[in-house]
């Protein structure tokens, strides 16, 4: 499949396994230079990316570190895939609604929602700066 992404750059979060790893591999096959981010770097992730960053994306500082590393490695970011999510089963018990405390809700939202907000905020200047102008046959924001 040719997605017309040759020589583009991407950051993929949650890239150590599952969907994030599959996305990293697919983008790499399309000629994209991928920086993968995850809490734990796996050998599979290292094979599917040009660089890896170990970071806790449930913090704004972790997101900033990923984008800073990606900018240093890639020179700019064309694509951001916010894939990180879920929760740490060793720390989170998902019983009934009344069994989940406020701190657990905060941690789940930090990882599953705010990580995407923080990553997007950090990457947006580069994403906008590298955006290709629209043409009559390709509206702004499309890549095919």
Q: What is the pLDDT of residues 59-93, one digit of tens each?
A: 999 999 999 999 999 999 999 999 998 766 666 66
> Is the CB of residue 119 less than 8 Å from the CB of residue 63?
yes
What is the per-residue pLDDT for 107? Answer: 87
CB-count exposure of residue 107 (10 Å: 0-12, 13-18, 19+): middle
pLDDT band (50, 70, 90) for residue 144: very low
pLDDT band (50, 70, 90) for residue 101: confident
Percent pLDDT > 90 in the chain is 69
pTM listed for this prediction? 0.86
Element (H, E) at 61: helix 60-74
Class of domain 9-129: alpha beta
Average pLDDT taken over every residue of the chain = 89
Residue 139 has pLDDT above 70, yes or no: no
**Average of per-residue pLDDT across 18-47:** 96
> Is the CB of residue 131 less than 8 Å from the CB of residue 140?
yes
> Is the CB of residue 45 less than 8 Å from the CB of residue 36?
yes
**For the chain, domain boundaries:** 9-129
């Amino acid at each position: 499949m040719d997605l017309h992404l040759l020589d583009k750059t991407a950051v993929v979060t949650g890239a150590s396994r599952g969907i994030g790893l599959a996305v990293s591999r697919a983008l790499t096959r399309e000629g994209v230079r991928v920086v993968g981010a995850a809490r734990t770097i796996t050998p599979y992730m290292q094979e599917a990316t040009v660089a890896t960053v170990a970071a806790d994306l449930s913090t704004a500082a972790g997101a900033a570190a990923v984008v800073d590393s990606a900018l240093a490695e890639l020179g700019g970011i064309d694509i951001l895939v916010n894939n990180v999510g879920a929760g740490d089963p060793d720390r989170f018990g998902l019983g009934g609604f009344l069994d989940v405390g406020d701190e657990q809700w905060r941690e789940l939202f930090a990882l599953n929602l705010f990580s995407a907000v923080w990553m997007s905020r950090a990457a947006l200047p580069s994403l906008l700066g590298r955006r290709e102008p629209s043409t009559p046959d390709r509206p702004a924001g499309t890549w095919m």
